[in-house]
Each structure stands twice: as structure tokens, then as C-alpha cells.
Amino acid sequence: MSKRDLQDQIVFITGAARGIGRGIAERLLADGASVVISDLDEEAAKETADELKTEGAKVMAVQADVSSEASVQAAIAKVHQEMGSLSVLINNAGLFASTPALSEDLSGWQKSLDVMLTGSLLCARATAPDMKANGWGRIVNISSVMAFIAYGEDVGYCTAKAGLLGLTRSLAVEFGKHNINVNAICPGHIRTPMLDATAKHVEQRDGTSPEQFFEELVGTIPKGRLGEVKDIAAMVSFLCSEDADHVTGQAMHVNGGSYLA
């Protein structure tokens, strides 16, 4: 397989109907991969898959609740029937829920862990056997700069994303002997619907307008701009390529310098 050539590789992307997941799908399709658009929202997944289908592009949509092992296994079974054996997993599904540490309601905390941390393990458990049998695989976990920094009332998100880095390192060691690379990407502030929702939450909580929120964010980024989905997709492309053959167990920061590891 040549550099940046994912021909004949089948990629399973969670949370791929929109935002970063969709951008990753677009990039990996351009790299020659066949792509599975997986999302909790089945109709949105189908719509995205239809929009991304171009001449020669192999795309399918599948509904999956990554927090449910049965749902994940059922989704993978459909992929096997329609496309074949998987060789790349992108754990991108996520959510942001306000989770104050002193809140009596732990539902937001639990959902954050179920989707972003346990869900990533469940998807790895479901897809790694294919990679092991193929003798080649890539798993990329989408973590966050918030695995390293926090803003308050975000214990669920920060904990899940930090835990994802531990999962990445553990799987990298366990799967390395099977020629499966496992890495994480830690995006900074990427302009997506999730960041827009965060801006609205901050406005309700602190009275800061979305315009001021984004202006202040940009002020913390040495590159002077918010990140774009394509920035993350480019790093995913690299980690899935033969250029990254000796890169595993790493947390790759893509944040314009707003956090320096």
C-alpha cells in the first residue's frame, strides 16, 4: 500500500453524519478508502452517505449506538455483509453535556463516559478481530485538548477524553504485535456545530455573547484562527497511512499552538 493510498481499506467512522466525522469521511474517501458512515441518527447517516457518494466512491450508512455492545456488533455484522472486513476504525462519536462536579444528577457524567470512553472500547473490540486477521490495522481515537485543560462544569467531557488517552496507550501495546497502530488526536477549538452549541451554553451560563466567546477563543490561539474540520481530517489521513507505520500510542495535538504539549 503506497503512501496516502487507502485503496481496498474499509473504514468505520463513528459519529460521522456531521462535523469532524463527516470531514474525516470526505478525506479518507479522497484517499481511496471505502467508508462506513456510522451514527446514532440513522437518517442523518444515510443522508450524508448519499451526499458523499460520487463516481467510484464506496460509502454505506449504518445506525449504531456506540454505548451499546449489541448495537455495535449488529452494525459491524451489516458492514461484513455489504462491504467486507474492516481495517480502520475512527472513534469520533461524542457529545458535550454540562456536568458540574456538585450536581446531584450524574446522567450527563455517565452518558459522557458511556459514549466517548466505553463506546470507543466497544468499537475497538468489534473491529480489532478483522484487523488482527488481516495483519494490518489502524485505530484513531478522537480525544480533545480538554483531556489536558478544563473550563469548569465539564468533568464528564474532560474525564472521558482523558480516559481515551489511557485507552489509546493500552490498546497500542496490546495490539502492536498484530501490526495494528492505535493513536489519538487531540483537537483544539474546531468550528463545528458542537462548538456553536458550547458558545450558546456559555452565553446562558455567563452572559458572554457567542461573538465574544469566539473572539476570546481566537485570542488564545497563536495561529490566530479557529481550527477547521479539514485540519483534523488531514491528521487522520496521516495516521492511517504508511507514513505513520512506526507511530502508535501517541496523542497528536492539532490546536494551532493553543496548548503546547
For 173-202, the pLDDT digits (tens) are 999 999 999 999 999 999 888 888 888 878
Residue ranges, the chain, pLDDT below 70: 1-4, 55
Give the residue carrying C-alpha cell 466517548: 116
pLDDT of residue 203: 86
- Asked whether the beta carbons of 79 and 9 are under 8 A apart, the reply is no
Query: Does the pTM exceed 0.85?
Result: yes
Express as a percent the part of the chain with pLDDT over 70: 98
Domains of the chain, CATH where assigned:
10-189+228-254 (3.40.50.720)
pLDDT at position 204, please? 87
The predicted pLDDT at position 55 comes to 65
What's the pLDDT tens digit per position in 104-129? 899 999 999 999 999 999 999 999 99
Q: Which residues pair with 89 in a beta bridge?
A: 12, 139
Could you list the active site residues?
157
Contact indicator for 115, 164 with CB cutoff of 8 Å: no
pLDDT at 112: 96
- The whole-number pLDDT of residue 2 equals 42
Would you state the pLDDT for residue 158? 97
